[in-house]
Amino acid sequence: MFIKFITTGGTIDKIYFDDLSQFEVGESRMQHILAEGLVTFEFDVVPLMHKDSLEIDDADRRKLRDYISGDDATRYVITHGTDTMPVTAEALSDLKGKTIVLTGSLTPARFRTTDAIFNVGMAVATAQVAAPGVYIAMSGQVFEAGAVQKNRAENRFEPIDRN
């Protein structure tokens, strides 16, 4: 079993310097998280971008889509900022024959209390178990691309109400 991890930035990889500095996207925490999970499968981690979710644009999404389209893995976990994660998920949704799971966190992975580790655990399981397609694993749930939104006021992911 092999999973390819692609990191794009976002809250999950935020670091903090000091009073004079901003909170910035740092090196990916993915290897640390996988080490903590004591995983034994094979994997690669590809840091494709270092961006906040709101800075990811259509060109970035094409880059991500082209990367996966031209790559021969079949299981992907993509870490991504939360604000536009649903947009990126939809932009990948016509990729066939691959199980692609986007995740991230509402609190940086470097915090003592963070949803990052739980979320990556969900994403890793979904990449193995789910049928080919594009998913978002956040807020303890696995959503299909196109059927999920971030509720900013409540700071959680939820199904889109289609009424």
Tokens 């509402």: give the residue: 106
19 binds a copy of itself (CB under 8 A): yes
Distance CA 61, CA 92 (A): 8
User: Two tokens at 66?
Assistant: 């082209």
Q: Are 80 and 104 in contact (CB under 8 A)?
A: yes
60 binds a copy of itself (CB under 8 A): no
8 binds a copy of itself (CB under 8 A): no
Question: From the list 88, 100, 115, 136, which residue makes contact with a copy of itself (rule: CB under 8 A)?
Answer: 115
Considering the complex, state which of residue 64 and residue 136 has its C-beta at the smaller distance from a copy of itself: 136
Contact region with a copy of itself (CB under 8 A), list: 31-39, 60-68, 70-78, 90-98: 31-39
| Pick from 84, 40, 89: nearest CA to 68 | 89
Q: Are 45 and 30 in contact (CB under 8 A)?
A: yes
Question: From the list 54, 69, 94, 160, which residue makes contact with a copy of itself (rule: CB under 8 A)?
Answer: 54
Considering the complex, state which of residue 16 and residue 69 has its C-beta at the smaller distance from a copy of itself: 16
Those residues with Cβ within 8 angstroms of residue 80's Cβ, 6 or more apart along the chain or in another chain: 8, 9, 10, 53, 56, 88, 102, 103, 104
Residues interacting with a copy of itself, by CB under 8 A? 1, 10-11, 14, 16, 18-20, 22-23, 33-34, 36-41, 52-54, 81-83, 106-108, 110-115, 117-126, 128-130, 137, 139-142, 152, 155-158
